[in-house]
Amino acid sequence: MLTVLELSHNHFSRTLNPKSSLFELHLLRYLNLGFNNFSSSLPSEFGNLKKLEVLYLSYNGFFGPVPQTFGNLTQLTGLLLSDNQFTGSLPLLQNQTKLSVVGLNNNHFSGTIPSFIFTIPFLSYLNLRENNLNGSFEVDNSSTSSSLEVMELGLNHFEGKIVEPISKLINLKQLGLSSLNTSYPIDLNLFSSFKSLFSLDLSGNRISPASLSSDSHIPLTLEVLFLEQCGIKEFPNILKMLRNLEFINLSGNGINGKIPEWLWSLPRLNTVFISYNSLDGFQGSTRVLVNSSVQILVLEANRFKGELPHLPLSINFFAARNNSFSGDIPLSICNRRSLSHLILSYNNFTGPIPQCLSKMTIVNLRKNNLEGSIPDEFDANSSLRTLYVAYNRLTGKLPRSLLNCSSLQFLSVDNNRIEDTFPFWLKALPNLQVLTLRSNEFYGPITPPDQGPLGFPELRIFEISNNKFSGSLPPSYFVNWKASSLTMNEDGGLYMAFQKSLYNSAGYTYIDTIDLQYKGLHMEQANVLTSYATLDFSGNKLEGQIPESIGLLKALIALNLSNNAFTGHIPLSFANLSKLESLDLSSNQLSGTIPNGLASLSFLAYINVSHNQLKGEIPQGTQITGQSKSSFEGNAGLCGLPLQETCFGSNAPPTQRPKEEDEEEGEEQVLSWKGVSIGYGLGVLFGLAIAHVIASYKPEWLVNIACLNKRRNR
Band (pLDDT 50/70/90 cuts) for residue 517 is: low
For residue 699, pLDDT over 60 is answered with no
Q: Does residue 454 sit within a domain?
A: yes
Question: Which of 181-195, 518-532, 583-597, 667-681 has the least mean pLDDT?
Answer: 667-681
What tens digit of pLDDT does each residue of 597-644 get?
998 898 999 999 999 999 999 998 777 878 889 999 999 999 988 888
For residue 46, pLDDT over 60 is answered with yes
Tell me the C-alpha distance between 278 and 33, whole Å: 47
> CA 430, 435, 437, 443: dihedral to nearest 10 degrees?
50
For residue 675, pLDDT over 50 is answered with no
Band (pLDDT 50/70/90 cuts) for residue 407 is: very high
What tens digit of pLDDT does each residue of 290-299 get?
999 999 999 9
For residue 655, pLDDT over 50 is answered with no
For residue 513, pLDDT over 80 is answered with no
Range of the structural domain that residue 587 is part of: 421-668
What tens digit of pLDDT does each residue of 494-509 get?
322 223 333 443 445 5
Band (pLDDT 50/70/90 cuts) for residue 651 is: very low
What tens digit of pLDDT does each residue of 415-434 get?
999 999 999 999 999 999 99
Q: Does residue 573 sit within a domain?
A: yes
Higher-scoring residue by pLDDT: 588, 670: 588
Q: Which of 33-42, 183-192, 509-518 has the highest mean pLDDT?
A: 33-42
For residue 140, pLDDT over 90 is answered with no
What tens digit of pLDDT does each residue of 527-551 get?
444 567 899 999 999 999 999 999 9
Higher-scoring residue by pLDDT: 63, 95: 63
Coil/strand/helix, residue 71: helix
Q: Does residue 59 sit within a domain?
A: no
Band (pLDDT 50/70/90 cuts) for residue 381 is: confident
Number of domains in the chain: 1
For residue 689, pLDDT over 80 is answered with no
Q: Does residue 549 sit within a domain?
A: yes
Q: Which of 163-172, 361-370, 651-660 has the highest mean pLDDT?
A: 361-370
Tell me the C-alpha distance between 57 and 86, whole Å: 11
For residue 713, pLDDT over 50 is answered with no
Band (pLDDT 50/70/90 cuts) for residue 691 is: very low
Band (pLDDT 50/70/90 cuts) for residue 167 is: confident
Going from the C-alpha of 654 to that of each of 62, 284, 473, 493, the distances in angstroms are 54, 78, 29, 43
Q: How many angstroms from the chain centroid is the CA of residue 213?
A: 36
What tens digit of pLDDT does each residue of 249-274 get?
999 999 999 999 999 999 999 999 99
What tens digit of pLDDT does each residue of 123-136 get?
999 999 999 998 88
Q: Of 43, 39, 38, which is closest to residue 18 (Cα–Cα)? A: 43
Percent of the chain surpassing pLDDT 90? 63
The rounded mean pLDDT for the chain is 84
Q: Which helix (H) or strand (E) holds 234?
A: none
Contacts of 682 (CB under 8 A, 6+ apart): 490, 491
Q: Does residue 654 sit within a domain?
A: yes
Beta strand spans in 473-531 (E): 514-518, 521-525
Question: In this structure, are residues 649 and 589 in contact, taking their beta carbons and an 8 Å threshold?
Answer: no
Band (pLDDT 50/70/90 cuts) for residue 524 is: low
Q: What is the predicted pLDDT for the residue at 139?
A: 83
Q: What is the mean pLDDT of residues 693-703?
A: 33
**CATH number for the domain harbouring residue 530:** 3.80.10.10
Q: What is the predicted pLDDT for the residue at 572?
A: 95
